[in-house]
Structure 1
Amino acid sequence: MRATAVRRTALAACAVSLTLLATACGGSSDTEADGGKTDKAGATSGSSSAPKSSAPTDSAPKTSAKALSAAELEAVSLKQGDVAGHEITKAGPDDELPEGGVTVDKAACLPVAHAMYGVAQKGSAATTKRSVLSEPKKADTKKPAGELTDGDVEDVLKASFDVTTTFIALNAYEGTAGPDTFVALKKAAADCAGGFTATVAGEPQKVVSVTEEKATGGDESAAWKLTVVGDGDDQFPISLVALRKEGTVATFYSLNVAAVTGRSVKLTGPTEVVAAQAKKLG
């Protein structure tokens, strides 16, 4: 999730917008979302404040899990067709980051930064990563091109930007490493409610607040809304969800393209995507 990834995602959405606009002008068939690779998103500097929540008091389960093999983890990872209305692709080399590839200004926040970027923790035996893009919504118009008003065009563009991109990382851990990783992430999110700055490839990524939200799935799950600052100091929300099934930990990092481009939208967690992944994990 580099800062430039936000701009690449927005440009991809522009291409989708033009396709949707052409479809709306013709008043005909459904339009599919662009199936190209969508990177994770980043943010630049900014400041804000958020009330700190108390750190979780639970500890990692004492059960020991056998890590899934690379082939087993691949088999339970999402594939195209697993989630209706979403384009699913394998993440590319640009999405690979070593454990030392991310630094933070507050050491306690490192587990959150690692979850954002899909970085595997100590004990990981195998990793898979996916990029997921929701299909754009269709504007409610069937007028031919010659009859579209400025308002109609604005509605089409607004609908086509209202897409959510999600980066998923699955890591298979041996022994108690999976539960330990999950507990460490929950504690870090609580400790870092007031924000932190992560640096990737020399680029600072500012998170100004971390707010806990509801989540379900797996043996245990958790979710947070991260508020970050993009170009022009505009703030926008990002969803971070984590779930654990035995020794496998899955993280989901989502943003809405319309929010990144300055439009006012309400971001909700990738519920359908998380549910589908939880089902495949068993």
Structure 2
Amino acid sequence: MKRSSGARLCATAAIGALSLSLLTACSDDGSKDTDSKTSASASAPAEASSSAPAAKALTKAELEKLLLAQGELKGYKVDSGDDTLPASKSVVKTDKPACNPLAWATAALAPGDTDASVGNTVAEDKTAAATAKPTDLADAFDIDMTFVGLSSYAGDGAEKAMKAVSDGVTACAGGYGLKADGENTKVTKVAEEKNSAKGDEVVAFTEDVDMDGAGKATFHAAVVRKGNTVATFYTVNFAAMTKGGDMGAVPAAVIDAQLAKLK
């Protein structure tokens, strides 16, 4: 890995979702039982009665209230994500349209067709541990940060969003090219994986990302539908990102706490 371009590497590995301040710090330290598709997702959900009103999408303001907030999950810090998440889908592009929902989901953006979406970041709070000060700089960056996105849909839009993600996992198994905030990334492999998240539908997957020709990094994502709301989770470990390898699974505590807030 070329240390002089470490910030670029971190940016592309994280699907363009990290702020320049975090990226610079990251790059400058050289030392440094349920299927992924639940039974509900295996087949199309039962059609609602013709007399039942169509689901209405929540507004952004309503979704903001459903995002995890600081103090609601012990051992984690919650941030608005304004400085770390892409502002819109227009800055996250792939070379295969079928892969767009995957790229959007990993950047806390709505994987389906809706304007009602919000996102934040949930990171381990090492200051809450018994040893508030890390023993070295490498330990300070050994932190899991999860990008969390919520999106809401009218009618059957949430089910369609989940299908788009599921179809994308299959269509993009051989990888795809990604451009985010001007940086190019090569995802070399996409694979379905298991996740025990409790929702109406669950699709979880891993992505192997080329680390600028210096090995690969494996990232984990989970997309969960609860009613007409879709929650996306994508985890990055800063220390692991500097040397490649597995970023680690999305923390179950983060998924459980966020889903508990959804109606």
- RMSD over aligned CA atoms reads 3.3
Report the Cα distance in structure 2 between the residues aligned to 1:207 and 1:133, rounded to whole angstroms: 24
From 106, 117, 129, the counterpart of 1:127: 117
Tell whether the 8 Å contact from 1:192 to 1:209 is kept in structure 2 after alignment: yes
1:246 aligns with 227
Summarize the Cα distance change of 1:61–1:209 in structure 2 as closer, same or farther, 3 Å threshold: farther
Summarize the Cα distance change of 1:257–1:126 in structure 2 as closer, same or farther, 3 Å threshold: same
The structure with more helix, counted as a fraction of residues: 1
1:71 and 2:56 correspond:
no
Report the Cα distance in structure 2 between the residues aligned to 1:100 and 1:266, rounded to whole angstroms: 26
How far off is 1:2 after superposition?
3.9
SS in 2 for 1:278: helix
Q: Which moved more, 1:177-186 or 1:155-164?
A: 155-164
Aligned residues: 232
1:214 and 2:194 correspond:
yes
CA deviations on 1:121-170 (whole Å, 9 max, x unpaired) are: 564252221012112499999xxxxxxxxxxx9x6444333211111111
CA deviations on 1:223-250 (whole Å, 9 max, x unpaired) are: 1121112245231121111111111111
How far off is 1:10 after superposition?
5.3
1:275 aligns with 256
Tell whether the 8 Å contact from 2:218 to 2:245 is kept in structure 1 after alignment: no
What are the residue-to-residue correspondences of 1:86-235 with 2, within 5 Å?
Answer: 86-92=76-82, 95-120=85-110, 123-136=113-126, 156-215=136-195, 216-231=197-212, 233-235=214-216
Report the Cα distance in structure 2 between the residues aligned to 1:263 and 1:206, rounded to whole angstroms: 14
Q: TM-score w.r.t. structure 2 length?
A: 0.75
How far off is 1:107 after superposition?
2.4
* AA at the equivalent of 1:242: V
Q: TM-score w.r.t. structure 1 length?
A: 0.70
From the CA coordinates, give the structure whose radius of gyration is larger: 1
Structure 2 gap ranges (5+): 1-9, 29-40, 49-53
From 1, 18, 22, the counterpart of 1:9: 22
How far off is 1:104 after superposition?
1.6
1:62 aligns with 47
CA deviations on 1:100-137 (whole Å, 9 max, x unpaired) are: 43322222212111212233356425222101211249
How far off is 1:262 after superposition?
0.8
* AA at the equivalent of 2:262: L
Report the Cα distance in structure 1 between the residues aligned to 2:189 and 2:226, rounded to whole angstroms: 27
CA deviations on 1:205-226 (whole Å, 9 max, x unpaired) are: 2111112222212211121121
2:5 aligns with none
CA deviations on 1:152-211 (whole Å, 9 max, x unpaired) are: x9x644433321111111111111111110111011112211211111233212111112
How far off is 1:88 after superposition?
0.4
